[in-house]
Structure 1
């Protein structure tokens, strides 16, 4: 078969969609993805954004025989015929899917004279994956780690960048009076999420995932402990910048945390000098050397957010542990094992003693799981 088509809104494209496209590639020389632009829907991504995500997702798998056509105000099956496509391919997961798709197929062929439909059945692990399913995962603590399993990398990155941009705008989009845009907000967002900061290729843990996770932790903490919006925003601002500078430079004259605090102060994002200094202090408390000597009423909350990853479920903790090792890939195995063992034994001891999370909300949520997780990692390191 020369050409086959695949149609959908793809908002966002999922691993299930990618499987169907892969099946199409196995039976045709060329695959055309017909991307629906429906004025009655309010998609998360624009048609052009979705087109770029689909193409990038295919390019990531070296699928060079896939193109994307945006369909506006027309029947996809009819547009497909105009592009020389006689068959569309659809994935069906249930009998309900088949009944619906068969009705659409009959309409396509008998009413509008469009392309016919081939049906394929995805493997069991993709049987429940749909755009609606993955969109419904957004929100709770750890949602990003769960979502990551169901969408291709480019779709995931676009998704969390969109989420982060909404978070950023809610914090820095306007002045506190709400009647003026803060200076340079777009530039600073691009800088923090770009290649020189959390979006960097060598950021395997202190990256965009870490940023999303921490911000959702702050949401949960603020909601469950009835924090004032002012205090929650102080912690949010500090978390945005706390790992903005993260270098492995033994000759550096200041710590990464101090460099990040200085970067924050230079941003001008907070015109109130006293609040700006509060945020800088909260950034500095995440430095285990100078942080112990600093005081702030939100210090324990900030540390709880930063250390919350230690108390996540086994799968998420595994992401974290592998990410840390990747960030220190320049360190040989034995020195890394020795240093990591010392760190984990110290942190596990504090967790067991009830002093790792001194903010009650985080202590209740994560202390026990943190001990279990670190004990497991120590065993994998051969230290126990």
Structure 2
């Protein structure tokens, strides 16, 4: 077979979709993904961005015989026939899928004189994966780590950025902002999510995922404790900037936290919160932090340390990321320093002092002790 088509909204493309495209490649010399632009739907990503995500996902798999075509104002089965595809390929997960797809297939052929359909059945681990399933994951703490298991990396990165953009825009009055203010907001969003900050290639832990996690922790904390809008905004502004400057340079004139505080103070984003946000950023520094007495200090520190109380797979991914982030440090020295840090934090957790905020302590303290004791033992044995 020379060409085969695969169609859908693909918002976002999932690992299930990628599997079907892989099956198509085993049947044909060329695969064309027909990306439907349905005006009746409100997709998460515009068609051009979805096209880029699919193309990047195919490139990462080394697939050079997959192209993407956006279909506007036509049926995908008819568009496929026009592009030389006599067949479309579809994945069937359930009997309900078959009944629906069979009806569509009959319409494509009998009514539209379009491409016929080949059905394939995905493996069991992909049987429940769909775009709607992935979309439904967003929200609770750790949603991004769960989503990561079901979508290719480019789709995951795009979703993370989209989530962060919504978080960022919620902090500032975009609707009533002047052109100059809008430009400033966009400038700082690009800076913070770009290679100079959390999007940097050497940011293996203090990265966009860390930002999403902390902002989600703050939202869930506020929802459960009745914290007001101002408290949420102060904490979120501080979290956006707290690791914006992250340096391993021992010769730095001041800590990364102080540099991040200064970056915030110089940003021009002041909404009357300048000094309070700077204080919360400084609170995450082990040297300056004890001197900070801000009423939200415990919540800020707890959100930053919440990673220590996650489930095994997340905690193990976190420790591996920390190892990559400090790969420039001599391995024996790194293990020694990491073990001392974990022993110190575990001792604080055992004394009930790691999470100063009661909500976070209840959620994470016991698990954090288990995680850090396990890691300390592994570091000692290495």
TM-score range, shorter chain: over 0.9
- Name the SS for the 1:381 alignment partner: helix
The Cα offsets for residues 163-196 of structure 1, whole Å up to 9 and x where unpaired, read as: 100110010244xxx7334350000000000011
List per-residue Cα deviations over 1:107-164 (Å, max 9, x = no partner): 1112211111111111111110000000000000111111111101110111110110
Distance of 2:42 and 2:363 partners within structure 1? 36
Point out where structure 1 has 5 or more consecutive residues left out of the alignment.
Answer: none
CA contact (8 A) 1:285 1:292 kept: yes
2:104 match: 104
**8 Å contact 2:55–2:68 — kept in the other structure?**
yes
Shift of 1:383: 4.6
**1:359 CA drift (Å):** 0.9
Q: Distance in 2 between matches of 1:195 and 1:19?
A: 31
Post-superposition offset of 1:290: 1.3
Partner of 1:62: 62
| Cα displacement (A) at 1:271 | 4.0
3-state secondary structure, aligned to 1:329: coil
- Whether contact under 8 Å (1:87, 1:116) holds in the other structure is yes
Deviations 1:264-310 (A, max 9, x none): 001010142xx201100000010011111222111111101100111
CA distance in structure 2 between the aligned counterparts of 1:340 and 1:189, rounded to whole angstroms: 32
- Tell me how large the CA RMSD over aligned residues is: 1.2
Q: 2:41 aligns to what SS in structure 1?
A: coil
Alignment partners' CA distance in 2, 1:36 and 1:135: 18
Check whether the contact 1:347–1:356 (CA below 8 A) recurs between aligned residues: yes
Q: Compute the displacement of 1:343 (Å).
A: 0.6
Instruction: Give 3-state SS (helix, strand or coil) of 1:63's partner.
Output: coil
Distance 1:76 1:179, change over 3 A: closer
User: What's 2:302 paired with?
Assistant: 304
- CA separation in 2, counterparts of 1:101 and 1:238? 49
In the TM superposition, what are the counterparts of 1:316-327 in structure 2 within 5 Å? 316-327=314-325
Could you say which residue in structure 2 is the equivalent of 1:314? Answer: 312
| Conserved 8 A contact 1:341-1:383 | no
TM-score normalised per structure 2: 0.97
Corresponding position of 2:25: 25
Aligned residues: 379
Which runs of 5 or more structure 2 residues have no equivalent in the other structure?
Answer: none
The answer to whether the 8 Å contact 2:198/2:244 transfers is yes
8 Å contact 1:173–1:185 — kept in the other structure?
no
**For 1:6-21, what aligned pairs fall within 5 Å after superposition?**
6-21=6-21
Q: Give distance in 1, aligned partners of 2:123 and 2:330.
A: 40
Which residue in the other structure is 1:77 paired with? 77
CA contact (8 A) 1:13 1:155 kept: yes
The aligned residue for residue 333 of structure 1 is: 331
TM-score (norm 1): 0.96
CA distance in 1, matches of 2:277, 2:232: 11
Q: Is the 8 A contact 2:339 2:380 kept in 1?
A: no
For each residue in 1:331-373, what CA deviation from the matched residue of structure 2 results, as whole angstroms up to 9, or x when unmatched?
Answer: 2321111111001111011111100011111111110010011
Deviation at 1:235, TM superposition (A): 0.5
**Equivalent residue of 2:266, what SS?**
helix
Q: Structure 2 CA distance, aligned partners of 1:14 and 1:214?
A: 25
